Amino acid sequence: MTEYVLQTDRLTRYFGSKCAVNELSLSVPRGGVFALLGRNGAGKTTAIRMLMGFLQPTRGTATILGTDCSNLTPAIRGRIAYVAEGHFLYKWMTIAQLEQFQKNAALRWNQKLFRAVLDHFALDEKMKAGALSRGQRAGVCLALALAPEPELIILDDPTIGLDPVARRALVEAMLMVTQNRDRTILFSSHQLDDVERVADWIAIMLEGDLRVCCTPDEFRDRLSRWVLKFDDGGPPSLEEIPELVHEMRFPNELHLTLANASPETISKLQTLATRSCEQLPLNLENGVIDYLSDKSRGGSLLHTMGGLV
């Protein structure tokens, strides 16, 4: 039976009249990497802050490691690592002092793992936090978060502002941790290529609503991109296509992204195109961008995706 390290049931948070998270029902299984995606303001940080017990839900419930998130005891918190957006560190401390500070509070400490992550980011323990770059701060935060060997690691946008090499180091450190299949990472991100590399599951939020929750493969399988080519006169205006997620028009071409396209719709497209109708491969990055783009129309169809919701 699947064991879930984190579950929410209709978790909702309003700020005044603004609904930041709307009836979020999510289950994160133990082991592997779970990515929380969505545009700026979609509600990812608000959801994570409720999970960590830093923000009270307006309604709904959330549990982490079997305990209600609004009552997390020090013992439960000791099994969870959380790295907030922005990678905060006490500026006046050296890395060695930060390590000591964290070690004193931790139930366990894996010195080898701590050193390995520092080495990955080419960091020296004598360096002062205030003198570190954004990427270096991210490395220290990650090393401090991982060394206590938490069961659950929650990272809010960990790669924001990092150069590609630092991003790669962070992703590799995440992969290193999940070699142990008991460890679970939940992270929010806008870096879809990183997500494609590490995520076992993705959840997509759109304006506070959970719209997709499945494996990356399932998401790619459900979406399809079609290129329709036309003779002079260009593409005609389209009648309603319920599965349409994204549409791009060119003088003699129409690029369409569809979700859960039916055979009837595909054969309609084939008849519509006067020159050719071809299916193009769609990677996770382009699929998510199409899905989240302003022009997206029929995206709610992805509600029907199976998986972990």
Ligand X SMILES: Nc1ncnc2c1ncn2[C@@H]1O[C@H](COP(=O)(O)OP(=O)(O)OP(=O)(O)O)[C@@H](O)[C@H]1O
Which stretches of the chain bind ligand X, using CB under 6 A? 15, 18, 20, 38, 40-46, 157
The alpha helices in the chain, defined as continuous H runs, are 44-51, 74-77, 95-105, 111-120, 134-146, 164-177, 192-198, 216-222, 263-272, 284-292
Instruction: Give the rounded distance of the alpha carbon of 41 from its chain centre.
Output: 14
Minimum Å gap between C-beta 132 and ligand X is 22
Query: Given the structure tokens 């997620």, which residue do they identify?
Result: 245
The nearest distance, CB 155 to ligand X, in angstroms, is 12
Q: Select 149 or 194, whichever has its Cβ closest to ligand X.
A: 194
Classify 194 as helix, strand or coil: helix
Q: What is the DSSP string of 59-101?
A: EEEEEETTEEGGG--HHHHTTEEEE-TT----TTSBHHHHHHH
Could you tell me the smallest distance in angstroms from the CB atom of residue 1 to ligand X? 32
CA distance 260 to 243: 6
State which residue, 47 or 118, has the beta carbon closest to ligand X.
47
Smallest distance, Å, CB 156 to ligand X?
7
Shortest separation between residue 18's beta carbon and ligand X, angstroms: 6
- Least separation in angstroms between CB 176 and ligand X: 26
Closest to ligand X by CB, 210 vs 269, is: 210
- Closer CB to ligand X, 118 or 154, in the complex: 154
Q: H/E element holding 257?
A: strand 253-259
Nearer to ligand X by Cβ, of 157 and 243: the residue is: 157
Which residues 6+ apart lie within 8 Å of 189 measured at CB?
Answer: 35, 36, 37, 157, 158, 159, 195
When the beta carbons of 17 and 304 are compared against ligand X, the nearer one is: 17
Q: Which is nearer to ligand X, 20 or 76 (CB)?
A: 20
Which residues are bridge partners to 33 per DSSP? 185
Residue 39 CA to its chain's centroid (Å): 11
Structure tokens at 13: 């948070």
Shortest spacing between CB 253 and ligand X, in angstroms: 33
- Cα atoms found within 13 Å of the Cα of residue 77, Cβ hemisphere only: 13
